[in-house]
Structure 1
């Protein structure tokens, strides 16, 4: 036996260890050897030293430890100090983790860009919304109801559910909601016998707003989801309570006209106090608003009267100021005219040959012919005369002649404001 164990080569020992590590399962050992299995082999039950001892010799046991350690490392096992082999990290898993870590930034970038693109795309091209027509659903239901069950029924409110709520809230009335299910077995009897009862019709029309719709329409289905009915026919009584429309009664299942009328009367009687309080609060608000409006109107009227008085006083002040300004302007104009006249006047002192002294004022813009005619018309004036200045001596061309039919003005001749002129008799 010792000779046989010494004849085992290292390759034989390696195969025996591998076979023993697979619990002496030949098929598993072959698959692992041919790399056909993905999972690592099970943990060995015996140490390499024990396997060598079983091989029939103890002489080579001392040097076998290093060989098994090298063998274990080459096949994915590590020999510990305690003599057991533990599975090491497979090389394929390391490659997988390396590939995963290497591609992680690219996959994160691609995922972020894809999400961003989808977000922007949905903003530009959103999901199509379903178009609904609540009023059309209600009107179609009323038409179909009257065609199937006749026109003897409580008056339907021709509007959407939200409009019916607003109308009942503004009118401070109860809102009776009827959800119609044409496929239910009790619906035809309820519509023909109960809703067509004259007493019920009169009571509902005089005390409530009656609204109905089919649950097969979008508007009816939305209301049914809000009211959460359990059976048909379904009626819900809604009233204004604590400032909001609240469901105060649910009537589900078939019922006779008298029974339904009695139930509605009981619900109305139990919840009428809410409407009474709401009416009192509304009346108080309306009274307060009317009083405030009257006060505002009185204030505005008083304000308009004060403004009118102030406007009249302002007009009177403006009229007085205007007259004072006109008087002042008139005085200034008169003074200006006097100044202008004073600036335009020329004082003349004429001495005729008989020694008579003549004085007169002329405007600067007047012609010198005025001076000639003034002297000529005087009784002491000679028939033919000549007017000259004193110093420097200069003949004044005041006589109109054929060569000078229009003598110059005093300003053009440049006579001083006060001048002494002499009249000379040309016939003397």
Structure 2
């Protein structure tokens, strides 16, 4: 699938594929342009495509309110321009020659007088054709009048302004055939009926050219007439992109009597200028390739930049994680040190508060032997009526005992409630706990 479909909805993509299947147009971008020009109305797009191939008018008209495109500059006299002039019909026989010679002075006087009057009138009242207000309507009016007068068996007229036709021909790298229609000219009817509506001309134009036409009596037609500066009617101009500029490569003027001859002339001019389109296509292909290459390089650079940024982000996050871990460890170490200092200070205070150890001969003294978690044995004497909190404090301050511990009897095994707390600041005495003259107790590490 072409990259041009990336921004399409699923419905538009389905219409695009259906349109391509119905019309047989290979270029997917061309199919999309046609559908977009018809507001994605597939029925109208298909009908107009078939009408264009058959030479019938289209059924879809773009809104007249669309802004006028700026016409590209046109080289009116490029090098190797073909100028094909067809002379008017010559008199035949003595009668026609006599009539021609006698009427020629009258025609000259009348033409001169008419030109003088026209100049005077134009001086007093400017030609309204010089003011182009709605060029698209001028074109559509001409097409409608042409169909009504000559029928619809003609090449598909380009339904847009002259500027739009030039821009499309330049964009699509196609030849543009311009026809300026003059109602007053004596050769116009014969040209329209015998040439424009002929099957030979219709088939050739529909298959090879964009065909734009307008009446010179309308502002749009008059404007194009002033730009192309035709000298005789019927008038045809073949325009194509050459040397990066739209150029009039052929001017065909005068009384054209043979559709076959006209087609042959067009084929000859197209063959002579086809190389310019080939070069333009190659140039566009190269620019498109370079643009695609730059885009791919930019995408690769952005991907690399994104990968580097992601890598740097991971490094930064890892660095921040380590810093946070170190900070937590530092805080934990500081907290541990603070607690250690608090315990040491408390031990120092407790040691100062500890009652002296009674003498062995004291009648109320009891001997407490303790087995520490590291297997050592320690002992101390206490008085029977002293609180067992002093036993707790003794173990708490001893260097061979843990900071968080329990003291249990051997048999039956029970834990002595010797640690002071908010609920019991003064634990029971040794006598209350039923401890004898000599007891063996065990110290258990709560963190072991």
TM-score, normalised to structure 1's length? 0.51
When residues 367 and 313 of structure 1 are mapped into structure 2, their CA distance, relative to the original with a 3 A threshold, is: closer
Structure 2 distance, partners of 1:184, 1:274, is 35
Q: Which residue of structure 2 lines up, in the alignment, with residue 307 of structure 1? A: 309
Superposition pairs for residues 3-402 of structure 1, below 5 Å? Answer: 132-255=133-256, 256-338=258-340, 347=350, 348-350=353-355, 356=382, 358=390, 360=393, 370-371=424-425, 373-374=426-427, 376-379=428-431
Give me the whole-angstrom Cα distance separating, in 2, the residues matched to 1:218 and 1:151.
24
**1: CA distance, partners of 2:192 / 2:135:** 22
Q: 1:370 to 1:165 in 2, by over 3 A?
A: same
Structure 2 portions without partners, runs of 5+: 1-129, 366-381, 384-389, 398-419, 434-448
Provide closer, same or farther for how the CA distance between residues 309 and 185 of structure 1 changes in structure 2, counting only shifts above 3 A: same
- Residue 322 of structure 1 aligns to a residue whose secondary structure is helix
Task: Give 1:247 shift.
Answer: 0.9
Aligned residues: 249
In 2, distance between residues paired with 1:154 and 1:195?
Answer: 7
In the other structure, the counterpart of 2:401 is none
Q: How far, CA to CA, are the matches of 1:240 and 1:164 in structure 2?
A: 13
Closer, same or farther: CA 368–209 of 1 in aligned 2, 3 Å = closer
Q: Distance in 2 between matches of 1:200 and 1:134?
A: 26
Secondary structure of the equivalent of 1:288?
Answer: helix
User: How far 1:195 sits from its partner (Å)?
Assistant: 0.8
* CA apart distance, 1:130: 5.8
1:167 shift after superposition: 0.8
C-alpha separation between the residues in 2 aligned to 1:344 and 1:213?
Answer: 110
Q: Give the Cα separation in 2 of the matches to 1:241 and 1:249.
A: 12
TM-score (norm 2): 0.49
Paired residue for 1:107?
none
Bigger drift between 233-242 and 336-345 goes to 336-345
Q: Distance in 2 between matches of 1:335 and 1:218?
A: 98
Instruction: Give the secondary-structure state (helix, strand or coil) at the position aligned to 1:305.
Output: helix
The verdict on how the C-alpha distance between 1:205 and 1:339 changes in structure 2, with shifts beyond 3 A counting, is farther
CA RMSD of aligned residues (A): 3.3
- Asked whether the equivalents of residues 158 and 165 of structure 2 are also in contact (C-alpha less than 8 Å), the reply is yes
Q: Secondary structure at the match of 2:176?
A: strand
| Offset at residue 305 of structure 1 (A) | 3.3
Match of 1:25? none
Query: Where does the alignment leave 5 or more consecutive residues of structure 1 unmatched?
Result: 1-128, 382-428
Which whole-Å deviations, capped at 9, do the CAs of 1:374-401 have from their partners, x for residues lacking one? 3x423399xxxxxxxxxxxxxxxxxxxx
